[in-house]
Copies of this chain bind each other. A is one copy, B any other.
Amino acid sequence: MPTISDVAKLSGLSKATVSRVINNHPYIAKEKRERVEKAMKELGYVPNPSARRLRGSLTSTIGVIVPRIVNPFFSYLVNAIEQAAFKNNYQVLIFQSNENKDKEIYFLNLLKNRQVDGIVMTSIENDWDVIEPYTQYGPIVLCNEYLNKSNVPMVRLDQVKGAYIGTKHLIDKGHTKIAYCTGGLFAEDGKDKDRNKGYQQALEEAGLTLNPNWIFINKHTTEDGKKVMKQMMAMNDKPTAIFTGSDEIAAGVIIEAKEHGLKVPEDIAVIGFDDQPAAEMMEPKLTTIRQPINDLGEKSVEQLISLMNHKEAAVENVELPVELLVRDST
């Protein structure tokens, strides 16, 4: 592994000059620049990022923290971020927090140590109070997450509207008994609170009252969806439609419904969330809410880069629109 000194020696110039060539400084004699470049090529020289970082210069590297990479939503988001970063000559480090607080802290420390110039967080495990101190070492952008603190840049989706248009769509189809799944606890304040609001808003507007029996909390997976369907079938007063909160849950609901001879959407209408690839593979094809994942990634990177370049760039909050995709399950 050749170093800058090797290049200097081979080209018969000083380390300083070589460094200047590497970093595109002005005022270098054409002839010397070429000698350096030739030497670099000859030795297969590559600058050592550790040394650069240690020296204090920027690293052209940003980090992305995701909870679980196997979740398609996040793998698509990571991809979008990676593409956008690459366009801007940034390299991406991907971290999986596994919803673990300690791992999250570990990754944030990479900011402290200049391993990365900035971080995109697509989930938050720790309280903001413990994350906040890290912002002094470099910018942190919240992507798809949302906090009631004012000084954090956030890029996110209009979740209220997502749940609202989904529920509204079911109402427009004539449904009045609409079940609802949430990944959280259906609390005023907490996970998925925006979606809860959208759901309730649509109900209210239509003059429908919320039936607590039809609210399913802490649901995430296809298995959860199956369980939900089982529970609904055991009810005396059964819902005729369900807003599931994710395509996975929707899949479980549909599988279980068919298992028992129920027809979708005739007996039970189902609406998903995310528009994952599987949504189109199901039978019936799933009506769902599409989230502009690519925009989400792009805006986050833009935001981060501008923050990295001008320390005091305006902290901007971006809210992206979601979209209803009507297919065959409603």
Binding site for B on A (CB under 8 A): 1, 46, 48-51, 53-54, 68-70, 72, 75-76, 78-79, 82, 91-94, 96, 106, 109-110, 112-115, 137, 222, 248, 251, 254-255, 258, 277-278, 280-283
Are the C-beta atoms of A281 and B280 separated by less than 8 Å? no
Q: Would A280 and B222 count as touching, CB distance under 8 A?
A: yes
Q: Which of A50, A53, A79 is most buried by chain B, counting CB atoms within 10 A of its CB?
A: A50
- Which residue in chain B gives the minimum CB-CB distance to A248? B277
Q: Does B109 lie within 8 Å of A46, measured CB to CB?
A: yes
Question: By the criterion CB–CB under 8 Å, are B48 and A51 in contact?
Answer: no
Q: Measured between alpha carbons, how far is A225 from B192 in the docked complex, in Å? A: 36
* Residues of chain B with a CB closer than 8 A to A283's CB: 258, 282-283
* Chain B residue at smallest Cβ distance from A92: B96
Query: Are A93 and B96 within 8 A (Cβ)?
Result: no
Specify which of A46, A68, A137, A222 lies most central, judged by the most chain B CB atoms within 10 Å of its CB: A46
Q: Assess whether B278 is in contact with A50, with CB atoms less than 8 Å apart.
A: no
Q: Give the distance in Å from the alpha carbon of A112 to the alpha carbon of B48 in the complex.
A: 9
- For the residues of A in contact with B, the DSSP-based class is helix
Please name the residue on chain B nearest to A69 by beta carbon.
B75
Which B residues lie within 8 Å of A82 (CB)? 69, 96
- Using Cβ atoms and an 8 Å threshold, which residues of chain B touch A248? 277
For A109, the chain B residues whose CB sits under 8 A away are: 46
B113 touches A46 (CB 8 A): yes
A199, B2: Cα distance in complex, Å: 48
Of all chain B residues, the one with the shortest Cβ separation from A83 is B98
Q: In this complex, what residue of B is CB-closest to A48?
A: B113
Considering the chains assembled together, what is the distance between the CA atoms of A114 and B50 in angstroms? 8
Whether the pair B50, A113 counts as a contact (CB closer than 8 A) is: yes
In addition to A70-B72, A70-B79, 20 A-B residue pairs with Cβ atoms within 8 Å of each other are A1-B112, A1-B113, A46-B109, A49-B113, A50-B50, A50-B54, A54-B54, A68-B79, A69-B78, A72-B72, A72-B75, A79-B96, A91-B106, A255-B280, A255-B281, A258-B283, A277-B278, A278-B281, A281-B282, A282-B282
| Docked complex Cα distance between A97 and B66 (Å) | 19
Known: A69-B79, A82-B96. A281 touches B222 (CB 8 A): yes
Which chain B positions have C-beta within 8 A of A110?
Answer: 49
A107 nearest CB neighbor, chain B only: B91
**Which chain B residues border A113 with CB–CB below 8 Å?**
1, 46, 48-50
